[in-house]
Structure 1
Amino acid sequence: MQAWQALRLPRLHWSSHRLVVVLALFFTVFCNQRFWAAALSGVQADLRMGLAMGLLLLAANTLVLGLLVWRWNARILVPVLLLASALAVHWMNTYNVYLDADMLRNVLHTDRKEAAELIGWSLLPAVLVLGVLPALGMGLVRLRRQAWYRALGQRLLLLLLALLTGLGGALLDSQNVASLLRNQRQVRYLATPVNYLVALPRSLHASNPLRQRTLLPVAADAHPLSSPAGRKPRLLVMVVGETVRAQNWGLNGYQRQTTPELSTAGVINFNDMHSCGSSTEVSLPCMFSPWGRADYDEDAIKSHQSLLHVLDRAGIHPLWRDNQSGCKGVCSGLEIDHLDDASDPVLCRDGRCMDEILLQQLEQRVRARPGDRVVVLHQLGNHGPAYFQRYPASFAHYQPGCQSTDLGSCSREQIINSYDNAVLYTDHFLATTIARLKALDDYDSAMLYVSDHGESLGEKGLYLHGLPWAIAPEQQTRVPMVMWFSPGFGQSRGLDLACLQQRSTRPASHDNLFASVLGLMQVGTDAYRADQDLFAGCRA
């Protein structure tokens, strides 16, 4: 404030209501490039339509800001809104993402490592022009004091005017506006800052640790089914991949052979596999739940136990080994190894570890508890945008790669090269896992690999993942899945591998995992659904 006085700049004496209107105009004009591009495409994009959408957006911004910004909180809240909107604009423009509740939850749950990868020099102009400079401009504004009843009355009048403005905008070109809102509902996720301000309460509600202290039981009647006496204990290793899409999977017929080692490892490849969501926050809890995408219920999934708790109840001890950002509640209260902060000099660098860290001491951890085991290996996989950091230099087969987290500084070809190199490393990691399981001759072992979601690599200008499910492209929802069984495991479960190979050509999804694992590990429960079990028709 003293700095502005030293520069002898004029002070502005405004009411808080005028500040709301100015902010709403600023956001409408300068922070909604993608909204305007989407709103004025595919319809009669004339001056009338532009004016109608402008009035609607201005009204929405005024309504939301009119409820939030008051004289007593403006000095803190307005700079926060400006900086948050600048970040939102940058990421939406750079990666073509949509800010719905799921995407915002991804942002809120991003750890420091993931956040660091999304911060680059290209972020600076947006933050400076749309965030820092307008926030500094608040130093020129002095908000007038008003009696509370007068301030409340004027604010109610402002909100009423905003509603009338929005109504006027809708009536100005009602046919085109109605067509846009009916056929392109996702456009609302681009209206900044309304998009993240409306999504924030839902995201915080879903993530509230106080909302449900104890997870509700699933399949409380779970019990082990009878099996032959004297058999070896069974070990199922479930590898949860990260951001690998089916389109770049060599076993699915991709033009590049990105799975050379798996192609000779005797695996069964499911070439039409679909995820439960387009982000880890959605897919991971969903794939380990009995609801899945067909009966998707976020509240039920978040508030109940997972498949791993059901296995534990049946005496099959689960272990979660993590090289990512946690299990999203799937392994709550169960045994977990956090390996993302390991300090191995060969596999770890700059706070990140290659996925082979998940295999260190795997045999010892399996044998630490007797009986049947299920071990989940949660990969870092192809987590973007730093694809080039997801594989050792020896796997940089496709060149030139993108050596930056700022995808805008690389060509699409470079981005795909780095992405495919990371898939090559996942192929090697899975083949190495199979080799380690073969060496565990005191167990009948099996491996199941499936990615949590896919990734956009420039198709229609989209990058990364996390689009709302209703509009997410196939690149973000179609994923690879492979299975491998040791001879002993296949025999003990009576698996007809030829039958399973035939089944692998038909559609499958994350919805199948809950019942399939229960059937594979011989867990009895009324929650088991044979029609969802991929192995049900291929067991003796």
Structure 2
Amino acid sequence: MRITMSAIKVNVLLVLLFTLVFNWPIFLHFYHALSRLDHVKVGFVLSIPLVLLAALNLVFLPFSIKYLLKPFFSLLILLGSLASYAMLKYGIVFDQNMVQNVVETNAGEASSYLNASVLTWFMLTGVMPTLCLLLLKIEYPTRWYKGVGLRLGGMGLSALLIFAVGALYYQDYASVGRNNHTMAKEIVPANYVAGIFKYVKTSFFTPAMPFLALGTDAVVAAEGHSKPTLMFLVVGETARSKNYSLNGYEKHTNAFTDQEPGLISFSHVRSCGTATAVSVPCMFSNMTRREYDENRARHQDGLLDVLQHGGVGVLWKENDGGCKGVCDRVPTLVVEPKEHPELCKGDSCYDAVLLKDLDQQIAGMKPGNKLVAFHLMGSHGPTYFRRYPASERAFVPDCPRSDIENCTNEELVNTYDNTIRYTDKVIGQLIATLKGLEQDYNVGLIYLSDHGESLGAMGLYLHGTPYKFAPDDQTVVPMLTWMAPRSAQEDGLNLDCLKQEAQAKRFSQDNLFHSVLGIMNVKTSAYDGALDLFKPCRRGV
């Protein structure tokens, strides 16, 4: 026998589900903020759930109509369940960029987030309430005007309650809101619905923009160079600067490169975003972070295109699920896990796979100056333990599971540090490859991570926090350069000067575009010498 319930009562239950279950993270945030205050009004504290109940009731009632209620709220419940888990466990804040990050996550990455905890939460708070809603027999008013009247009455009472609380405690809400800016993005379902709306609008309903060819005047100035240049550009994933022993970290995470002559670590580098979908297109564009526009970046040439315009041979090697558009117009090799069973497990491969057949691939590129870009899997979470082989478990105990919130902090940090150390090993191997080719090329390497990672500090895990709220853990990234001494000398680059610059000055991903053009000796109107971090240390430039 099916249970029968009126549409208004169903709406009340939905409001209670979203308020008391899916919005539990914002209550925790609210009361954490209040616990830091010296004086708190009891009435203000008690009003918080009432305001949220009233606000959700005000928003939900217009959608509690026949033929719309069940499909609309079923989708909202399923998404709300996943969003609330991510917020509760990882401190993730949903906005347009986070929605984009989720949409552009491939199947292999998505599977790394699956574990018993999330599946249990999703079944209990998402699937079961949705099934109950679908099986429920809902009674609607027999006259349309009665239904409209009931909804308008409920909305009016909700608005009146919000107005009354605002009149009494407006200053209290304003004060807490000013000091906790992310709260506005933590209300379920408003946060992910707004994020989805903005993402869809930007991605599918933005007026078409003509493609802008950039740097078509580029040429390679090879005067004074006895050999062509071969540069490795290594794009890191989810590495943060503070965990580099080269930058003062107490663990020996740079065991393979810290004694390498010519290697320089830049200790103060900011990312363009807090997620790959933002940072990678931004760092390969000629735009700075402050002026960066995603739609514009998709419709103009990037760094690799400009290099090609100048006659530089370019190759992109992919091990991280996609280049986010920056390699669309250059030769690209995507790692296929099934072709390298010794270095791959399932859909994920260790970054050492990028060295496979590298010498032959370089030989097969067009003659002259060459740049090979490597997109690493790096420290991609939450399954950090899958980024390094068992032989590279230098820091133990580690955390061999995806529900990282259930690991101790020591285990979690050890696992993450193992990924940093393994990346360092791969960079050391790439440098060794370059040394073997030094007879034929002037060789060098640049490594730059796309963004950092939170490992539990301030209750945050992973990355993707809106940039203006993001901690340094997510925005301060490692950057390394290595030049063979003879190559640096031929290029007029003073490595001692560059080392001093790396320690004394602050840089960002804004510098990558122009620095690579500069070190590759590409002359073009798209180049801005003020953003070339090598320029102050190059003779005659």
User: 2:480 aligned with 1:512, yes or no?
Assistant: no
TM-score normalised to structure 1 length:
0.92
Establish whether residue 449 from structure 1 lines up as the match of residue 440 from structure 2. Answer: no
2: CA distance, partners of 1:160 / 1:308: 57
Partner residue of 2:138?
A: 142
Contact (CA 8 Å) 2:492, 2:538: kept in 1 or not?
yes
Is the contact made by 2:57 and 2:155 (CA closer than 8 Å) also made in structure 1?
yes
What is the match of residue 420 of structure 1?
Answer: 417
Q: What letter is aligned with 1:239?
A: V
Kindly indicate whether the alpha-carbon contact (under 8 Å) linking 1:243 and 1:451 is maintained by their aligned counterparts in 2: yes
1:403 corresponds in structure 2 to 400
Distance 2:232 2:208 in 1: 29
Determine helix, strand or coil for the equivalent of 1:375: strand
**SS of the residue 1:247 aligns to:** helix
Once structures 1 and 2 are overlaid, which stretch shifts more, 355-364 or 211-220? 211-220
Provide closer, same or farther for how the CA distance between residues 107 and 70 of structure 1 changes in structure 2, counting only shifts above 3 A.
farther
Give the aligned partner of residue 82 of structure 1.
77
Displacement of 1:503: 0.7
SS in 2 for 1:269: strand
Specify the code of the residue in structure 2 equivalent to 1:370: P
Cα 1:159/1:290, change in 2 over 3 Å:
farther
Q: Compute the RMSD of aligned alpha carbons.
A: 2.3
Answer yes or no: is the 8 Å Cα contact 2:221–2:523 preserved in 1: no
For 1:118, the equivalent position in structure 2 comes to 113
Residues 235, 446 of structure 1: 8 Å contact kept: yes
Match for residue 189 of structure 2 among 182, 190, 193: 193
Question: Runs of 5+ in structure 2 lacking a partner?
Answer: none
Work out the CA distance in 2 between the residues paired with 1:344 and 1:157: 65
Which residue in 2 is equivalent to 1:167?
Answer: 163
Alignment of 1:279-358 (within 5 A): 279-339=275-335, 341-358=337-354
Distance 1:488 1:154, change over 3 A: farther
Which one-letter code corresponds to 1:198 in the other structure?
A
CA shift for structure 1 position 221: 4.3
C-alpha displacement of 1:460? 2.0
Mapped pair 1:216 → 2:211: yes
Deviation at 1:101, TM superposition (A): 1.7
Aligned to 1:434: 431
Report the number of matched residues. 530
**Compared CA separation, residues 231 and 22, structure 1 to 2 (3 A):** same
Q: How many Å separate the matches in 2 of 1:211 and 1:256?
A: 48
Query: Would the alpha carbon gap of residues 221 and 338 (structure 1) be closer, same or farther in structure 2, given more than 3 Å must change?
Result: closer
Structure 1 unpaired stretches of 5+: none
Shift of 1:497: 1.1
Picking from 485, 489, 494, the partner of 1:496 is: 494
- 1:82 Cα deviation (Å)? 1.4
Which deviations, in whole Å up to 9, do the C-alpha atoms of 1:457-507 show, x marking residues without a partner?
A: 121222111111111111111111110112443233211111111111121
Per the TM alignment, residue 229 of structure 1 is displaced from its structure 2 partner at its CA by 6.8
State the alpha-carbon separation in 1 of the partners of residues 72 and 187 from structure 2: 19
| Distance in 2 of aligned mates of 1:234 and 1:59 | 65
Q: In structure 2, what is the equivalent of residue 467 of structure 1?
A: 465
Matched, 1:108 2:103: yes
Q: Distance in 1 between matches of 2:220 and 2:119?
A: 60
How far is the alpha carbon of 1:400 from its aligned partner?
A: 1.1
- Shift in alpha-carbon separation, 1:205–1:314, aligned structure 2, 3 A: farther
Report the AA paired with residue 518 of structure 1.
L
Residue 537 to residue 494, structure 1, CA distance change in 2 (3 Å) = same
Cα deviation, residue 178, structure 1: 1.0
- Note the C-alpha offset of 1:140: 2.3
Q: 1:148 and 1:105 mapped to 2: Cα distance?
A: 39
Task: Select 2:390's aligned residue among 393, 411, 427.
Answer: 393
DSSP-derived class of the 1:332 partner:
coil
Q: Does 1:35 align with 2:32?
A: no
Residue 64 of structure 1: CA displacement?
Answer: 4.1
What's the % identity of the aligned pairs? 36
Q: Equivalents in 1 of 2:295, 2:358: separation in Å? A: 34
Q: Is the aligned partner of 1:483 residue 2:485?
A: no
State whether residues 519 and 533 of structure 1, in contact with CA within 8 Å, keep that contact through their aligned partners in structure 2: yes
Whether the aligned pair in 2 keeps the contact of 1:246 and 1:480 (CA below 8 Å) is yes
TM-superposed CA distance for 1:371, in Å, is: 2.0
Aligned AA (1:291): M
| Structure 1 residue 296: Cα displacement | 3.3
Cα distance change of structure 1 residues 508 and 137 upon mapping to structure 2, 3 Å threshold: same
Provide the residue aligned with 2:172 in structure 1. 176
Cα offsets for 1:273-331 (capped at 9, x unmatched): 12111111111111111222233333333443321122122222322111012011111
d(CA) in 2 for partners of 1:378, 1:157:
57
- Paired residue for 1:228? 223
Does residue 538 of the first structure (1) align with residue 529 of the second (2)?
A: no
Closer, same or farther: CA 310–70 of 1 in aligned 2, 3 Å: farther
Q: Is the 8 A contact 1:324 1:340 kept in 2?
A: no
Mapped contact 1:54–1:169 kept (Cα < 8 A): no
Structure 1 residues 395, 56: closer, same or farther in 2, change over 3 A?
same
Q: Secondary structure at the match of 1:103?
A: helix
- Distance in 2, matches of 1:237 and 1:23, equals 55
CA deviations over 1:340-386 (Å, ceiling 9, x no partner): 53431211112211101111122222222222222110000110111
Distance 2:460 2:336 in 1: 28
| Aligned mates of 1:147, 1:231 — CA distance in 2 | 88
Judge conservation of contact 2:92–2:460 (CA < 8 Å) in 1.
Answer: yes
Give the letter aligned to residue 250 of structure 2.
Q
Q: Aligned equivalents of 1:69 and 1:200: distance in 2?
A: 21
- Partner in structure 1 of residue 4 of structure 2: 11
TM-score computed with the length of structure 2 as normaliser:
0.92
